[in-house]
Each structure stands twice: as structure tokens, then as C-alpha cells.
Amino acid sequence: MSKRAFVAIVGPPNVGKSTLLNSYLGMKLSAVSPRPQTTAQNILGIMTTNEGQLVFLDTPGLVQRSGAIYEFMRGQIDLALADADIALVMVEAGYEPSDEFAIFVRSLKKIVVLAINKVDLVKDKLELLPLIERYKELGLLEIHPVSALSSDGLTPLLNTLMVLAPEGEPYFPAEAPTTYPMRFFAAEALRESLFELYGEEIPYSVFVEIDEYREQEGRKDYIRAILYVERESQRPIILGKGGAAIKRLGTRARQKIEALSTRPCYLELHIKVAKDWRKDDGFVRRATKPPEAYLPE
């Protein structure tokens, strides 16, 4: 009998949740950046081995901010946890468990595995021992120091997840790394590129919508993306002098999309203003319709 589990990767912003997913899948599915709240929607990634199948859901970081987009992000975490067999809670080395964190962990009615990430930054690994003790005091039993970046400790963590996974047939066919459509990852690639190329509020102020994604036999795929900004004054920043900045954005995102789809594409970008969309429940609800084919059946 083989194993299978839905594994929700949850934790504070910026600890390396998306990097972990990408490491396990060996591909750049989930956007990564040195800044918090890069992931806004859950990303589903499937890992199938000889032992079984783990269906990871990479989630936005836990934050206590108000506004429609943050409520949406918290909803995403709740959704991932509701479906999960295992909660893979991730923190980073040096992160002391706060009271809120303790409450969060106790609220999880799941098998919980803790990954303490970024141990590559800790010179003296003995420093980790008191930290591990403090997490044990919260009732956490499975604790794995890892480095998602250098893949340190990822195999033992994977083995633990497989051991804890319920028995059963795989949820999805073994070949596919995800059930989300390519258009979803096109938006993710644009999002990551925005974080790489623009400072301050800009990446957070842009909502990326893939308006059209047309696969074309014998020619480049055609992708049209709308970048919704919160204010008219953000348009010239995105464009840059003589359109240089948006050109760079388009080129970078296109390269990421092509690397994932392994097909050449033509990427067209448009800017629209959706005033203060981050606070607008209606906009967030409309704009964040989840991708289809999320769960089997």
C-alpha cells in the first residue's frame, strides 16, 4: 500500500515556504523573493516518489493586517489547512516562537511537522538546540532543521512526511507536478519579476491578471496580462522612462514563463487602474477566483 497526503506549508512570511516547494519539485513553480508576502495565493505542487505522493500547498505568510487582500490571504491559509492531512509549519533559524505562534500551532487539529529553515545561516549548529527545545515545549514532536536553499535536511524531512502520511492511492497522476493551469504560473512569474525589478510598494500594489493565454501550434504562445495598479500615479513608475522598465519586466517574466512551459511565448502587458483594489472586497473576490482542478473529483 502506498502513502498519500495533502501537506499545507504554513508559517510566517519570508521563512522560505515557497523555496521549499520549488526545491522538492525541482522547478520554479512558486514565486520567491527576499521580501514578505510574495505568495498571495495557494500554489499546489505534487511530488510522487516510490513511497507515495505528497500534495503540497504553499500558502501566503501568516500576517495580522487588515484589508481585503490580507483577509483573502488568511482565507487561503485556512483553505489549505482544511484540506491538509499534515501541517508543515515552517519558521527560520533564530525565530523565537511568539505567543501568537504558540496559539496558532495549538489551533492546528492536524499532524504537525516543524521545519526550522535557513540553518545554512547558522555557523554553530549547537545554537539550534535551545531553539529546538523551545519548540518542543509547544508540543511539537517532529522538528527538522533544514535549508531549503541548499537542500540540507530535505530528504529526512520528506521521509518523515511520508511516514506520517495516511495510506492510500495517489490523489493525482504521477507525471504532473501541479494541477493548476499554466496561466496561473504566468501570473506568478510576473509577480516574482515585479518583486525583482520594482521597489517599495509597487509589487504589492499590482494585481496581475492573465487575460488571455493561447497555446498556438507552430508559433509562439500568446499571453496578455493586465497589471492593475492602485493609483494613476503608479502607471509611469511601472512604465519607466520611455517604457524601459515595463520592457525589462516583460522580458524577464517571459523568460520565466518559457522556462516553465518549455514553449516560446509572446507576452503583452497592459496597465489598468483599479483604485485602492487591495481594500476592495469586490475586486479581490472577482480577481482571485481559484484555479480550476484544485481537488480530485
Binding site for ligand GDP (CB under 6 A): 13-19, 32-34, 38-39, 61, 117-118, 120-121, 147-149
Q: Which is nearer to ligand GDP, 44 or 265 (CB)?
A: 44
| Shortest Å, Cβ 71 to Mg ion | 18
CB of 23 to ligand GDP, least distance (A): 8
CB of 74 to Mg ion, least distance (A): 15
Contact 42, 75 (CB under 8 A): no
CA–CA separation, 90 vs 277, rounded Å? 30
* Region 2-21 residues binding Mg ion, contact defined as CB under 5 A: 17-18
Residue 95 or 222 with smaller CB distance to ligand GDP: 95
Torsions phi, psi of 138, nearest 5? -80, 0
Q: Which is nearer to ligand GDP, 10 or 46 (CB)?
A: 10
Nearest residue to 255 (alpha-carbon basis) of 157, 189, 165: 189
Of residues 150 through 179, those in contact with Mg ion by CB under 5 A are: none
Measured CA angle at 122 (ends 119, 127), to 5 deg: 105
Is position 37 an interface residue for Mg ion (rule: CB under 5 A)? no
The nearest distance, CB 189 to ligand GDP, in angstroms, is 14
Rounded distance, CA 208 to CA 228, Å? 6
DSSP summary character for residue 83 = H
Nearer to Mg ion, 29 or 246 (CB): 29
Q: Kindly give the pairing relationship between strand 207-214 and strand 265-273.
A: unpaired
Helix residue spans in the chain (DSSP H): 17-25, 68-83, 99-107, 128-137, 154-164, 182-197, 202-205, 235-239, 244-261, 281-287
Cβ distance 105 to 138 under 8 Å? yes
Interaction of residue 41 with Mg ion, rule CB under 5 A: no
Look at residue 234 and give the partner it binds from Mg ion, ligand GDP, none, a contact being a CB closer than 5 to 8 Å depending on partner kind: none
- Picking from 176, 180, 125, 192, the residue whose alpha carbon sits closest to that of residue 152 is 125
Q: What is the nearest approach in angstroms of ligand GDP to the Cβ of residue 65?
A: 15
Q: Quick one: which of 22, 37, 39, 193 contacts Mg ion (CB under 5 A)? A: 39
205 interface partner picked from ligand GDP, Mg ion, none, CB below 5 to 8 A per type: none
113, HSE (Cβ side, Cα atoms, 13 Å): 25
Size of the site for Mg ion (CB under 5 A): 4
Which of ligand GDP, Mg ion, none has residue 13 at its interface (CB below 5 to 8 Å by kind)? ligand GDP
Residue 242 beta carbon to Mg ion: minimum distance, rounded to whole angstroms:
33
**Which residues are at the interface with Mg ion (CB under 5 A)?**
17-18, 38-39
